[in-house]
Amino acid sequence: MADLTWRAYRSTTEGGIYVELDNIQSIVMQLGRNKVTDQWRPATAIINGRLPGLAVNPGLAVNDFIKINNTTVNYDYYFRVADIKIEYDFVSNGDTWEIACEAALATAGRSNVSATITAGDETIYSMGILLTDAPVTLSQATGLGASFVSGFTVDDENPISYFQKLAQTEQAYIADYDFENTIVAFQRGTATDGPFVTFTDDNTATTTYKVPYNKISFASLAEDYVDGTVVNPAGLATQTAGTLGRSFSLDSFDQTISQAANLAAYLNVVLSQSSAVPNSVTTNVKTWADATPQGYLTLGQQITVRLRSTNYNCVLEGLTIAATPSQTLITAKLSPATAYAFLTLDDAVLGRLDNNALGF
């Protein structure tokens, strides 16, 4: 297929009219996180171009709203201007500019909030209460949360540490770039609907949802491997799972000891995979049959990576999109999906016999 043509637009107000920026040379977006043990970070974008008098000087300012998209796929990425840099040459035609952008999680992180979270409320619902005073919107489109929280109060404080702890309690996926000034929190287990994209080393297999890649990286056997997990629920006893020789620890707002114990057991299953699996894969959009797969590369989505006739099931943790006028490279950051692929019956964590429900 022909390469994607990327564009960027700016608006001075939320919900305002977007005006296209001229003379863009490159766009690089960093979305999501690198691996499942990372905390969620704000999505970022770096936009570079020429002739700042046409694109930057006409009123562009820090905190302006930025929308990035391409002319093929109906998918917008939203940011706000964090910084503007102009490099002047001896002649004006050599002048260049760079706009650094951040998404809604960064905006929330620059605010102070006051909130009272009620014990027994769902995790994602509690995120919305937490961010009520913040200048962002929290989308709960996929549910209010599958876990319940202990009560706590925030008094004129930065909300990010509380937000991250709520996300860890839920094991939610966070996307802060899908809508203008909005953070989308995906309830656990709701971000994995198909159709699924397959990255393949077969360059002839360029059909919809199946795209070739030109670079693949595998995690080493011990990378991010643990044999035990520790969950520290606020106000409750620490819960552990596994042998704790190489342990991973996190804080949570689990309401009960049993819920915290389930979280520890669940994470121990997810992180105790010692087989070599892909942790990133890079593809050039020019090699795709069409641009359809871009719309299904969403955080938390299950994807397949095929190498030498072997399929690896993975979960998409993050994306890097690097675009120039000549090419678009997309790098997917992956975690193994082996632990999510099986249902163990009559198990408190992986499945409850006769109850038709997962334990966690």
Round to whole Å and give the CA distance between 44 and 15. Answer: 20
CATH classification code of 108-186: 3.55.50.10
What are the tens digits of pLDDT across the range 331-349? 999 988 754 543 444 555 5
Judge contact between 34 and 357, C-beta under 8 A: no
Residue % of the chain over a pLDDT of 70: 87
Second-level CATH architecture of 198-221+275-340: Beta Barrel (2.40)
Q: Where in 103-253 does DSSP place strands (E)?
A: 113-117, 137-139, 152-157, 173-175, 182-186, 198-200, 210-212, 215-218, 228-233, 239-242, 247-252
Bridge partners, residue 306, by sequence: 200, 311
Residue 268 three-state SS: helix
Round to whole Å and give the CA distance between 248 and 55. Answer: 47
What are the tens digits of pLDDT across the range 101-116? 999 999 999 999 999 9
Round to whole Å and give the CA distance between 221 and 272. Answer: 10
Question: Which range has highest mean pLDDT (108-122, 215-229, 282-296, 332-346)?
Answer: 108-122
Domain 6-102 part of CATH 2.60.40? no
- Cα-Cα end-to-end distance for the chain: 42
pLDDT for res 178: 93
Return the amino acid letter for 66. I
Judge contact between 178 and 78, C-beta under 8 A: yes
Return the amino acid letter for 7. R
Mean pLDDT computed over every residue of the chain: 87
* Eight-class DSSP state of 341: S
pTM: 0.90
Name the residue with tokens 């995790």. Answer: 123
Round to whole Å and give the CA distance between 250 and 295. Answer: 32
Q: CA 203, 336, 147 angle in degrees (round to 5)?
A: 135
Round to whole Å and give the CA distance between 196 and 340. Answer: 15
For the cut 60, the answer to whether the pLDDT of residue 85 exceeds it is yes
Domain ranges for the chain = 6-102, 108-186, 198-221+275-340, 228-271
Round to whole Å and give the CA distance between 173 and 235. Answer: 25
Question: Among residues 145, 165, 347, 166, which one has the least CA distance to residue 262?
Answer: 347
Judge contact between 206 and 212, C-beta under 8 A: yes
Banded model confidence at residue 189, pLDDT cuts 50, 70, 90: confident
For the cut 50, the answer to whether the pLDDT of residue 352 exceeds it is no
CA of residue 179 relative to chain centroid, distance? 14
Judge contact between 311 and 341, C-beta under 8 A: no
Judge contact between 138 and 183, C-beta under 8 A: yes
